[in-house]
Structure 1
Amino acid sequence: MNGCLVLAATPMGEVRDASDRLREALATADVVAAEDTRRTRHLATALGVTITGRVVSFYDQVETARLPALVEDVAEGRTVLLVTDAGMPSVSDPGYRLVAACVARDLPVTCLPGPSAVTTALALSGLPVERFCFDGFPPRKQGPRRAWLETLRAEPRACAFFEAPHRLADTLADAVEILGGERRAAVCRELTKTYEEVRRGSLTELAHWAAEGVRGEITVVLEGARPVAARPEDLVGEVERLVADGARLKDACATVATDGVSKREVYEAVLASRKQ
């Protein structure tokens, strides 16, 4: 019994991005679970591949109903290939529940790596992305969306997220108000496709551009919040706590001093605070 669930990344637009392993999997899988069966068949045709296995639809509305049969296929020794319309399954696309169900049964799960709008946009953004978070799609309604943006106000990591083109202008306008117009971002549109475009700039600049209307599939990368420089007076309380624990004042000032605040500035702030 060598059944396995195989997640496979599919091209976002450029068919030549398909891997040889994807071609082989499409041709040999016993079952192909596809978010859109027509698009998957068109992809196979473009790749010169004949799908020999059973093709079943696997999109959001039928995901739960399809789970038991697909898990049983794997349990009975069949290879089930899961593909979505573009990019990696489970990343804002169907897949998570099927993976979790197979894991719960201790059934093999593997992945064929490939195209991903998230990592492609991060690489193209021109922003520091050594550490990042991915937030899927923002809330559609303004209130929850603004609350979501509030959580990013002090987030030090870059944040990648998807957005519908007809909501992009509103999302960027809210971001200007909550995060500040000077915060940098990149809007990546139609990645790998004929009309690929990457707009980089401040949130103010990007909001102004988006207000004119944007089309296509959108991935946004938002710069992480920059550390706020400490002020000498902000460190007084920490110094006083060290002194209360027995430290000499000058030693305590040296301990809490930072790259942006010298021990002399901290010392003077403590003296000024005591005079008050």
Structure 2
Amino acid sequence: MSRTLPNVDLAALRQDIDRIDEAMHRLLMERGEIIDRLIAVKKTQESGSAFRPGREADMMRRLAARHRGILPLDTAESILRVIIATFTYVQAPYRVHADISGGDAPMRDSARFHFGFTVPYVPHASAAEVIAAVAASKGDLGIFRPDQGTASGAWWARLTGAGAPKVIARLPFIERPDHPAATPVFVVSKPVADAAVREIVLVSARVERWRDTVPAAISALGAEVLGSAGIAGGLSLLLSMPGTLTLAALEEALTGAGAGRAHLAEIGSHAARFVVPEAPSQGGGASSSPVR
């Protein structure tokens, strides 16, 4: 039995769409005018200090929480990401350096999804090259996979020191099944301490030895071993810990687990991942109700 549809004025609906499209464009131009005033106030054109990872994380959480309707969350997130990245570029031009040692396509997908096409994309052969490029720049970003493999060595040690680049984000921030840019990446920049979000803190640790008791000992504090590499005189570890945990407490746990003397240094921080669960099979699509 065919369903009878009410009379619909298609021309009127298309006029509504045109009205909304024009309103969005005008709002973008208005946003540009505000950014222009912001540039004049902050004088960031040469400083490369326009990145605000904490603010961006908050914006993405609010986007996911309020999203509804037939427009995929992927699309809404990407649009807002590109708007943020492009206006940041307008404030202080920058490039995105990417480690393509594990393949160019996933890194390019991540860069385009999160930063758009206006921001230049520069490929490199390793995470070490990316970190060096960011260190030598005025205000560029770098992206690379957290799981670099043993051949890359203790790449995180290159992020130690007050003036060295630091991790400022982990992408994708909004995680969900079938994300179009699902490859996990760290984002590094020159230090942005005043704008950093410290929900998860990353630590470079030098210890004398490995013990199988280490993971459980630090897990009890909410910390985790993300990577390890042999170095002269011991072992270098890449650790993550809650922002509420102190380095002293983490050091005590490592020593107590038998790792020997530990030397710890923060190498950055990022927001906790925001997970969108799969929708029930009868609902169709992904739910926009976030869980932590």
Normalised to the residue count of structure 2, the TM-score between the two structures is 0.29
Which protein shows a greater Rg? 1
